[in-house]
Amino acid sequence: MRFLPKDEGFFDLFDRLSARLTSSSRLLHELFSDPARRAELTARIKEEEHAADQLTYEVMQRIDRSFVTPLDREDIHLLANRLDNVVDLMDGTARRATMYHITEKRVAASALTEVLVACTGVIAQAVQQIRKPAEVHKIAREVKALEEKADAIYSAAIEELFSGTPDAIQVIKWKEIYDNLEHAVDECEDVANVLESISLKNS
């Protein structure tokens, strides 16, 4: 088996970036569990988003400085951007909750953010196990199952949202929030697929 070249700098940055995913998802779950704290939690998620942007920038700078990289440059670039995209989506969802003055707790939003917490947690494990294709493959299957669970929650939530004679403003607000949460989970699956591809390529 060919081992990955040693360059702990990139791998440390990926670990730190994936940690921003997990912390952002937990904060977002708290927000939809306790909307009264939305301003505080949105601000904290924004801090995570800024930190993720800085880490992504550091990855790009390191690519430019490195003569030999431990992974293909395109793969490093792709993984960093995919991870950052998930944080961006969570930040966008939190900002919408604040802009729309969300004060109501909804079971579907809490359930979707629970799935997001689970997804980001296993992605962080996959980043740490990137040298072990079998482990990354197993984790990628977990993320796929979680994505399917999120799809079911999302479909039921949208059906409920449009049932009866709903208030149009509430429909607009919550549909966009549900859309963003479902999109964030989809992006987690994309991250898992990228990790699996990188792991297999470098095994």
Q: How confident is the model at residue 3 (pLDDT cuts 50, 70, 90)?
A: very low
Considering the domain boundaries, does residue 25 fall inside one?
yes
Spatial distance between the Cα atoms of 82 and 174, rounded to a whole number of angstroms: 25
The pLDDT of residue 67 is above 90: no
Average pLDDT, integer, range 2-11: 60
Considering the domain boundaries, does residue 90 fall inside one?
yes
Considering the domain boundaries, does residue 127 fall inside one?
yes
- Read off the tokens for 42: 């949105």
Question: For 5-9, 25-29, 66-70, 148-152, which range has the lowest pLDDT when averaged over its residues?
Answer: 5-9
pLDDT score, position 1: 37
pTM: 0.91
How confident is the model over 9-51, as pLDDT tens digits?
788 899 999 999 999 999 999 999 999 999 999 999 999 999 9
Average pLDDT, integer, range 97-116: 96
- Read off the tokens for 75: 């793969």
Considering the domain boundaries, does residue 2 fall inside one?
no
Q: What is the dihedral of CA 79, 85, 91, 93, to 10 degrees?
A: -130
Average pLDDT, integer, range 113-132: 94
Q: How confident is the model at residue 99 (pLDDT cuts 50, 70, 90)?
A: very high
How confident is the model over 177-195, as pLDDT tens digits?
999 999 999 999 999 999 9
Considering the domain boundaries, does residue 3 fall inside one?
no
pLDDT score, position 2: 46
CATH at 18:
1.20.58.220
Cα angle, residue 90 at apex, residues 115 and 108 outer, rounded to 5°: 40
pLDDT score, position 6: 52
Considering the domain boundaries, does residue 1 fall inside one?
no
For the chain, the average pLDDT equals 91
116 lies in which domain range? 8-201
The total number of structural domains that make up the chain: 1
Considering the domain boundaries, does residue 94 fall inside one?
yes
Q: Which residue has the tokens 């939530």?
A: 157
